[in-house]
Structure 1
Amino acid sequence: MYRFIVRRLASGVVLIAILTTLTFFLLYLSGGDIARRIVGEGATEEAVQAKAHELGLDRSVWSQFTDWLSHAVSGDLGSSWFNGQPVSDAISSRLSVTLSLVIGATLLTAVLATVLGVVAATRGGWVDRVVQFLGVLGHAIPNFLIAIGLVSLLAVQWHWFDATGYTEFADSPSRWLSSITLPVLALVTGAVSSVAQQVRGAVIDALRQDYVRTLRSRGLSETRVIYRHVLRNAAGPALSYLGVQFVGLIGGAVIIEQIFAIPGLGQVAVGATSQGDIPLVMGLVMVTAVIVVVLNLLVDLAQGWLNPKVRHA
């Protein structure tokens, strides 16, 4: 198990290094005149050059990258070029908000997708067709359209929830839950249909295996066969796909947060990319990459627990 974890961590470090390197150079290739953007279009050329020298923009790109990397490795992600706020503070103050949406959506997706997938695989007939139709529908309708529909119906017309805004959990747990309900539902709608399809396919494949017939011949109830044995073997593929959906939900949360005016990483990401705030963008990329690496490690550990063969693959 130790070697298994080390291999996964090593591959994660390589992924982060490649991703941050590509992002840094792509940002500079498309960044334009960042110094003039900071000091303003009406600033003199001398002021622009002074700002470029202050930020180190007059050095080579490689020199700037190695300088950023040496600080990032030690935990210093720098400061925003536009407001001077430390990047770590700008991200940490918003990260919990975004993670509350994404983790809530992931947990709800896992429960609903498992129920729908198992029912579709075992019952068949119209239930199976409905689940497959929902899968196609979930892929076809973007999350932001679902979010707008939920706001129009549940907030504007029925007044069940507030249309926008966010309440901290420490301030009021009930209002916090109310403020994230609509965003989570908007994220879940598309994800649950896709994961349910994966669960359905994995359960059908597991039900065709010889060990299922053996268990049934020994007199085990169908419920015990499915929930004690079939689901364990079918969980592997579904869990991998759920991990992929988690990463997709982080991207989807950027748009959803804008619609519901939620102060998460979405607002930070949109503002940083539109301004060309490279330290803040790089910080967001690195933090997101670390989250993805940790998530993949947890998924791999769960896979290894479910199927020991994975640890030696």
Structure 2
Amino acid sequence: MYRFIARRLGSGVVLVAALTTLTFFLLYLGAGDDIARQLLGEEADEAAVRAKERELGLDRPIVTQFAHWLSGAVHGDLGTSWFNGQDVGAAILSRLSVTVSLVIGSTLLTVVFATVLGVVAATRGGWVDRVVQVAGVLGHAVPNFLISLGLVLVFAISLHWFRPTGYTRFAESPGLWLSSITLPVLALAVHGVSGVVQQVRGAVVDELGRDYVRTLRSRGLSEARVVYRHALRNAAGPALSFLGVQVVGLLGGAVIIEQVFAIPGLGQVAVTATGQGDVPLVMGLVVVSAVLVVVLNLLIDLLQGWLNPKVRLG
């Protein structure tokens, strides 16, 4: 098991390193030679521009800049924002818990609803199966922002069950916090459930057709025990693999969802930093997002290895 974890951690470190290296060179090379002038304005004189370049370290070779940034990043220093002078790590950490709560909440809902609906569709068949499959296709096809607007119109404006926008931190009021993240989490979970339910349904159908299931039934085991204790456990592998892909989609979808619901998470920071061309802040967001994806996928791999020992041996 330890070797299995070490392999997964090693591949995650390689992924983060490759992604951050590629992103750094693309951002700094794509920003052009007039970064300092963009920061100071077109009216700035040449002396001020050159002084700003020296302040930001932009007068050094790009390889030297990368080595300096990497040295700081390894020690937890992601640099300083070019526009507001705020520490990048502090700016991201202040918003990280918001986005993580959305992603974790939507992931939990995805697992629960996709499992229940997938098993029901696979065991019942007929019109129930067709309804679940059609709903899955439609839910995956509708954009996140349309789902969000629909939820706001129904549950916030018409029924007045939730606030349409805004966010309350858990420390201030747990009840208001739960109310403020419910609609965003549901909006994110719709896409997750729509994708994973097809995988669960297909995997369970395949398992129910195998010889060991017929043997278990012939021994008199109840259908519920056959399905939930044996078939579902063996079918969890493909569904969990697809869930890992969906987690990346949930992080990307959170950017849009946070804009729709005016939630101060990483999505708002990403949109602002990208629009301004704040390269250090964008780099920090890339690093943190990559680490989040690696950690979440590692947890999914561990769960998959626990369910299926063949994964650990492979």
Task: Please give the TM-score of this superposition, normalised by the length of structure 1.
Answer: 0.97
Superimposed CA distance per residue, residues 218-277 of structure 1 (whole angstroms, 9 cap, x where no aligned partner): 000000111111111011111111121111101100010011100000111111111111
Q: Does the alignment pair 1:65 with 2:62?
A: no
Query: 1:30: Cα distance to partner?
Result: 2.1
> Paired residue for 1:18?
18
Q: How does 1:44-63 map to 2 (within 5 A)?
A: 44-63=45-64
Deviation at 1:9, TM superposition (A): 1.0
AA paired with 1:27? L
2:306 match: secondary structure: helix
Q: Which residue of the partner structure matches residue 40 of structure 2?
A: 39
List gaps (5 residues or longer) in structure 1.
none
Structure 1 counterpart of 2:181, one-letter code? I
Deviations 1:79-126 (A, max 9, x none): 111111111110110000001111001101110101100000000011
Aligned-residue offset at 1:304: 1.2
Give the whole-Å Cα distance in 1 for the aligned partners of 2:128 and 2:136.
12
- Report the more deviating stretch, 247-256 or 156-165: 156-165
Q: Paired residue for 1:164?
A: 165
Amino acid at match of 2:98: V
1:274-309, Cα deviation, whole Å (9 max, x unpaired): 111111111111111111111222122111111111
Cα separation, 2, equivalents of 1:261 and 1:295: 25
Q: Which runs of 4+ in 1 moved over 3 A?
A: none
The within-5 A match list for 1:66-81 is 66-81=67-82
Residue of structure 1 equivalent to 2:250? 249
- Find out whether 1:117 has 2:125 as its counterpart: no
Residue matched to 1:207: 208
Is the 2:109–2:189 contact (alpha carbons within 8 Å) kept by the matching residues of 1?
Answer: yes
TM-align CA RMSD: 1.1
Structure 2 gaps of 5+ residues are none
**Once the 2 structures are TM-superposed, how far is the Cα of residue 139 of structure 1 from its aligned partner?**
2.0
Q: Find the aligned partners of 2:304 and 2:111 in 1 and give their Cα distance.
A: 15
Please state how far the C-alpha of 1:72 moved relative to its aligned partner.
0.6
Give the C-alpha shift of residue 39 in structure 1.
1.3
Query: In structure 1, what is the equivalent of residue 279 of structure 2?
Result: 278
Report the CA distance between 1:158 and its aligned residue. 2.5
- Offset of residue 134 of structure 1: 1.0
Alignment correspondent of 1:266: 267
> What is the rounded CA distance, in whole Å, between the counterparts of 1:273 and 1:92 in structure 2?
18
1:184 aligns with 2:185: yes
Q: Among the aligned pairs, what percent are the same residue?
A: 76
What code does the residue aligned with 1:273 have? T
Deviation at 1:47, TM superposition (A): 1.4
**2:140, 2:190 within 8 Å by CA — same for their partners in 1?**
no
For 2:5, the equivalent position in structure 1 comes to 5
* Whole-angstrom distance in 2 between the partners of 1:162 and 1:108: 21
Cα distance in 1 for partners of 2:185, 2:312 equals: 34
Q: Provide the secondary structure at the position in 2 that maps to 1:160.
A: coil
